[in-house]
Amino acid sequence: EKHVNLLHIESRKSKRRNSEFEIFVDCDINREQLNDIFHLLKSHTNVLSVNLPDNFTLKED
Whether residue 58 is predicted with pLDDT greater than 70 in this model: the reply is: no
Which stretch of 7-16, 33-42, 45-54 has the lowest confidence by average pLDDT?
45-54
Mean pLDDT of 34-48: 86
Cut 0.85: pTM above it: no
pLDDT in tens, 6-18: 899 999 998 888 8
- Rounded distance between C-alpha atoms, residue 58 and residue 17, angstroms: 27
Residue 36 DSSP one-character state: H
CA distances from 55 to 20, 29, 37, 51, 58 (A): 30, 13, 18, 11, 10
Long-range contacts of 55-59 (CB under 8 A, 24+ apart): 56/31, 57/31, 58/34, 59/35
